[in-house]
């Protein structure tokens, strides 16, 4: 494992196998495998929705031990079509995961997800507990109306200048419902307006991820590929409440409470505030719970990354998390 105190991850690795999987007539998803082909299977679920994969996502896991499976969800990253929100729902993403598991001939896997990835991990586990050996969850997002309103409006209490830039292109008379105002642009026929709205959305989110400013990351979130995936798909899922019933992920925790889990949360997470992680732990007291005192939202915050790697190491050594 790297001894770099600021980035406590395993060294960079490349996939030993990758490919695409047509999951329906509209969507084709990109997938890859890294690490040990005979190792303990682990599934990485990226955030967003729509953020896609990064090479750093492979590095939370010991490649000598784990068979690491990663994929770009519908409409994200190298999956096609980019930013496509039609035929894109949580039940369909869950079905995609099961198709991938079956194709790769994996019986059970450790499920690892942060932010929206934690949402999808919980939803997948509750639908298919028999396919899961445990969970590592970070930056919990339960996709409740309160969390969505916080993202669209509440973050201005801490990032007023960032929020002002976010809403600048929306006329004042439309700002009473920012989500609908952005949706009209993100899903409209004007491609230039769509890209402007997507870039504004990406810059807004990217500016709020870390405890300390990360200008390069903000620029990454404002690129066309990332912003189109994130802006369109986050708006789509927000508009549909994640395709969940009221408080579904908390109500159904009983389906996975028998499985080992660790929850990692940044104390100063402005994108997914700590109350959601606390609520999840209250519903799932058997899960280990780590509140990182000097971290925001991002999985690459040093304290969060260290806790995540510690979790995967303990699942490796003990088969469960104590």
Q: Answer with the one of 192, 213, 242 that is the final residue of a domain.
A: 242
Residues in the chain: 322
Whether residues 251 and 164 fall in one domain: no
What confidence score (pLDDT) does residue 67 get? 98
Whether residues 222 and 172 fall in one domain: yes
pLDDT(3) > 70:
no
- 11 part of a folded domain: no
Which residues fall within 8 angstroms of residue 43, CB to CB, at 6 or more apart? 69, 70, 97, 101, 109, 110, 111, 112
What confidence score (pLDDT) does residue 225 get? 83
What confidence score (pLDDT) does residue 318 get? 64
What confidence score (pLDDT) does residue 222 get? 79
Whether residues 169 and 207 fall in one domain: yes
Whether residues 81 and 180 fall in one domain: no
Q: Read off the pLDDT of each residue in 75-83 and give the average, rounded to a whole number.
A: 96
What confidence score (pLDDT) does residue 11 get? 96
Q: The whole model's pTM is what?
A: 0.95
Express as a percent the part of the chain with pLDDT over 70.
97
Whether residues 48 and 183 fall in one domain: no
Which residues fall within 8 angstroms of residue 196, CB to CB, at 6 or more apart? 169, 185
Q: Answer with the one of 200, 222, 242 that is the final residue of a domain.
A: 242
- 12 part of a folded domain: no
Q: 273-291, pLDDT tens digit by residue?
A: 999 999 999 999 999 999 9
Q: 23-42, pLDDT tens digit by residue?
A: 999 999 999 999 999 999 99
What CATH number is associated with residue 287?
A: 3.40.50.1820
Distance of alpha carbon 271 from alpha carbon 118, whole angstroms: 13
Q: Tell the burial category of 289 from Cβ atoms under 10 Å away from its Cβ (0-12, 13-18, 19+).
A: middle
- 3-state SS, one letter per residue, for the chain: CCCCCCCCCCCCCCCCEEEEEECCCCCEEEEEEEECCCCEEEEEECCCCCCCCCHHHHHHCCCCCEEEEEECCCCCCCCECCCCCCCCCHHHHHHHHHHHHHHCCCCCEEEEEECHHHHHHHHHHHHCHHHEEEEEEECCCCCCHHHHHHHHCHHHHCCHHHHHHHHCCCCHHHHHHHHHHHHHHHCCCCHHHHHHHHHHHHHHHHHCCCCCCCHHHHHHHCCHHHHHHHHHHHHHHHHCHHHCCCCHHHHCHHHCCCCCEEEEEECCCCCCCHHHHHHHHHHCCCCEEEEECCCCCCCCCHHHHHHHHHHHHHHHHHCCCC
Whether residues 229 and 251 fall in one domain: no
Whether residues 45 and 170 fall in one domain: no
- 132 part of a folded domain: yes
| Domain tally, the chain | 2
- 127 part of a folded domain: yes
- 225 part of a folded domain: yes
- 51 part of a folded domain: yes
- 2 part of a folded domain: no
Whether residues 301 and 191 fall in one domain: no
Q: Read off the pLDDT of each residue in 142-148 and give the average, rounded to a whole number.
A: 98
State which residues form the domain around 278.
17-144+243-318
- 4 part of a folded domain: no
Q: Read off the pLDDT of each residue in 93-116 and give the average, rounded to a whole number.
A: 98
Whether residues 259 and 235 fall in one domain: no
Mean pLDDT value across the chain: 94
Q: Answer with the one of 219, 242, 265 that is the final residue of a domain.
A: 242
What confidence score (pLDDT) does residue 216 get? 81
Distance of alpha carbon 208 from alpha carbon 221, whole angstroms: 11
Q: 222-278, pLDDT tens digit by residue?
A: 788 889 999 999 999 999 999 999 999 999 999 999 999 999 999 999 999 999 999
What confidence score (pLDDT) does residue 319 get? 52
What confidence score (pLDDT) does residue 219 get? 81
What confidence score (pLDDT) does residue 217 get? 80
Q: 48-77, pLDDT tens digit by residue?
A: 999 999 999 999 999 999 999 999 999 999
Whether residues 56 and 195 fall in one domain: no
Whether residues 281 and 172 fall in one domain: no
Q: Read off the pLDDT of each residue in 137-159 and give the average, rounded to a whole number.
A: 98
What confidence score (pLDDT) does residue 174 get? 96
pLDDT(2) > 60:
no
pLDDT(212) > 90:
yes
Residues assigned a catalytic role? 115, 269, 297
Between 12-21, 92-101, 190-199, 220-229, the lowest mean confidence (pLDDT) is in: 220-229
Whether residues 207 and 218 fall in one domain: yes
């Amino acid at each position: 494992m790297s001894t770099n105190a600021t980035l406590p991850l395993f060294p960079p690795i490349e996939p030993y196998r990758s490919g695409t999987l047509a999951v329906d007539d509209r969507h084709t998803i990109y997938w890859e495998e890294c690490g040990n082909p005979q190792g303990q299977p682990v599934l990485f679920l990226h955030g967003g929705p729509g953020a896609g994969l990064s090479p750093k996502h492979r590095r939370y896991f010991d490649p000598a031990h784990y068979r690491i499976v990663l994929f770009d969800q519908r409409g994200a990253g190298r999956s096609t079509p980019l930013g496509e929100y039609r035929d894109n729902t949580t039940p369909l993403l869950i079905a995609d995961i099961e198709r991938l598991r079956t194709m790769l001939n994996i019986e059970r896997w450790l499920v690892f997800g942060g932010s929206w990835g934690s949402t999808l991990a919980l939803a997948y586990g509750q639908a298919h507990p028999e396919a899961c050996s445990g969970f590592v969850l970070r930056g919990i997002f339960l996709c409740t109306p309160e969390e969505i309103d916080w993202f669209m409006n509440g973050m201005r209490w801490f990032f007023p200048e960032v929020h002002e830039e976010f809403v600048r292109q929306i006329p004042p008379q439309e700002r009473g419902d920012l989500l609908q105002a952005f949706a009209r642009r993100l899903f409209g026929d004007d491609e230039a307006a769509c890209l402007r709205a997507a870039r504004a959305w990406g810059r807004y989110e990217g500016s709020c991820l870390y405890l300390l400013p990360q200008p390069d990351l903000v620029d990454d979130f404002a690129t066309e590929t990332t912003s189109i995936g994130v802006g369109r798909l986050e708006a789509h899922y927000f508009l549909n409440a994640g395709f969940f019933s009221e408080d579904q992920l908390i109500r159904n925790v009983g389906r996975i409470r028998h499985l080992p889990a660790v929850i990692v949360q940044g104390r100063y997470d402005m994108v997914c505030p700590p109350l959601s992680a606390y609520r999840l732990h209250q519903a799932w007291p058997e899960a280990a719970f780590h509140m990182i005192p000097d971290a925001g939202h991002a999985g690459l915050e040093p304290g969060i990354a260290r806790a995540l790697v510690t979790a995967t190491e303990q699942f490796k050594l003990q088969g469960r998390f104590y």
